[in-house]
């Protein structure tokens, strides 16, 4: 058109998918499928894992095998657990007819529901929604492995390594560090993945403590759960709450009744009462339940409830824990207080 500008017709057609693997496998963000595409990062992860030529390596969520290939080059055998059958097929195709085919075992299934075989080391870029349950599944795996090198969402990773007094220090920090030595290795930007996730990531090293701490797992978890009902409140105010005192008194009376006739542990019903305080088990703990809304009224009235309350508070005062806060306490302090409660006949499972 004279005196004007001619507009170019935009060609409309099917848009090329931005999150496809070159082999044609579509990645689903909803399933946590974010594949590492940076080869230098893959090399760094393998190097920091300290893999020996004799190691059997567990890989969780191998995807299309970018990390798997490097693990096969470094170790003796790789056991890859993958939920998506499309990825399993792609993985098998990639290594079929190569020298690695006899050293790769692929298990199709949900890693949380799978009985894991023996392995020396775990190296994994996992779907972030399974971070907490997977961490504790690994920590309680027998026989104990040497270490795990895992990619987590950055905030979750920072909770794992947080120290007393840190803002992110929580029940997850205490429980994980009680059973393992945890260290931060690498910060990983979102652009290192295809498709990129919405958050940055971190690589963490987890080394199970050997021997494992000699403490009743349910007892420890129940105790830590109560301490972190509101991590920034004093332990004195937490242990004066009516629902906490009621639960502990029930455990106390049950144990007193049992001790006269037989030496048995408390029933599963009492463990369920503990779980109700946190709404979820330790294995599902992501640290987000700190400072949860709870009934904060202190126990009132005379008689046995008041006597038991005095018993609980006397333990806290004896150990000088009444004005302490869970957010500031070390592993040793938690163990000391739990031992003092137990000696007074107060139990948490």
Query: Per-residue b/e over 86-117, b at no fewer than 16 CB within 10 Å?
Result: bbbebbeebbeeeebeebbebbeeebeeeebe
Strand partners, 193: 36
The reply, when asked if residue 217 is annotated as ligand binding, is no
User: Hey, is 151 helix, strand or coil?
Assistant: strand
- Strand-pair partners of 304: none
Closest CA to 137 of 171, 169, 180, 108: 180
Please give the structure tokens belonging to residue 247. 């639960």
The whole-angstrom separation of Cα 251 and Cα 73 is: 54
Q: Which residues contact 84 (CB under 8 A, 6 or more apart)?
A: 31, 33
DSSP string covering 28-92: -GGGT--EE--HHHHHHHHHHHT--TT-EEEEE--TTSHHHHHHHHHSSEEEEEES-HHHHHHHH
How large is the C-alpha radius of gyration of the chain?
A: 25
- Residue 36 labeled ligand binder: yes
Burial label, 213 (beta-carbon count in 10 A; 0-12, 13-18, 19+) = exposed
| 175 among annotated binding-site residues | no
Annotated binding-site residue? 155: no
Cβ–Cβ under 8 Å, residues 59 and 78: yes
- Residue 285 to residues 11, 131, 133, 160, 164, Cα–Cα distance (Å): 51, 10, 8, 11, 18
258, two tokens = 């049992």
104 carries a ligand binding annotation: no
- Neighbour tally for 272: CB within 10 Å: 9
Question: Token pair for residue 49?
Answer: 């894992």
Q: Are 126 and 45 in contact (CB under 8 A)?
A: no
Residue 216 is labelled as binding a ligand: no
Structure tokens at 320: 């000088």
Show the tokens assigned to 233: 């409140």
Binding annotation: 34, 36, 61, 82, 110, 125
Binding residues for S-adenosyl-L-methionine: 34, 36, 61, 82, 110, 125
């Amino acid at each position: 058109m004279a005196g004007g500008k001619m507009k170019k017709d935009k060609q409309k057609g099917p848009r090329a998918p931005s999150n496809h693997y070159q082999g044609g496998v579509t990645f689903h963000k909803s399933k946590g499928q974010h594949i590492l595409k940076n080869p230098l990062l893959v090399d760094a992860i393998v190097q920091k894992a300290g893999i020996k030529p004799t190691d059997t390596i567990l890989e969780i969520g191998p995807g299309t095998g970018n990390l798997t290939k490097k693990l096969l080059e470094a170790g003796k055998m790789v056991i890859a657990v993958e939920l998506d059958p499309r990825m399993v097929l792609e993985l098998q195709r990639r290594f079929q007819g190569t020298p690695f085919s006899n050293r790769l075992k692929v298990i199709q299934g949900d890693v949380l529901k799978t009985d894991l075989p023996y392995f020396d080391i775990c190296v994994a870029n996992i779907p972030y929604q399974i971070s907490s349950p997977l961490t504790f599944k690994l920590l309680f795996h027998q026989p104990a492995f040497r270490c795990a090198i895992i990619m987590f969402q950055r905030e979750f990773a920072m909770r794992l390594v947080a120290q007393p007094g840190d803002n992110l220090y929580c029940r997850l920090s205490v429980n994980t560090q009680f059973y393992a030595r945890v260290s931060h290795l690498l910060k990983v930007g979102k652009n290192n993945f295809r498709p990129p996730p919405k958050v940055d990531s971190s690589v963490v090293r987890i080394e199970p403590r050997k021997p494992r701490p000699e403490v009743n797992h349910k007892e420890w978890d129940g105790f830590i759960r109560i301490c972190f009902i509101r991590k920034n409140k004093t332990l004195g105010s937490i242990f004066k709450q009516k629902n906490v005192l009621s639960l502990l008194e029930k455990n106390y009376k049950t144990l007193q009744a049992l001790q006269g006739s037989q030496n048995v542990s408390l029933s599963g019903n009492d463990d369920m009462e503990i779980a109700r305080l946190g709404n979820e088990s330790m294995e599902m703990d992501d640290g987000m339940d700190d400072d949860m809304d709870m009934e904060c009224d202190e126990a009132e009235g005379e008689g046995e409830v008041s006597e038991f309350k005095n018993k609980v508070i006397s333990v806290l005062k004896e150990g000088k824990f009444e004005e302490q806060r869970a957010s500031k306490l070390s592993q040793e302090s938690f163990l000391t207080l739990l031992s003092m409660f137990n000696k007074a006949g107060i139990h948490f499972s």
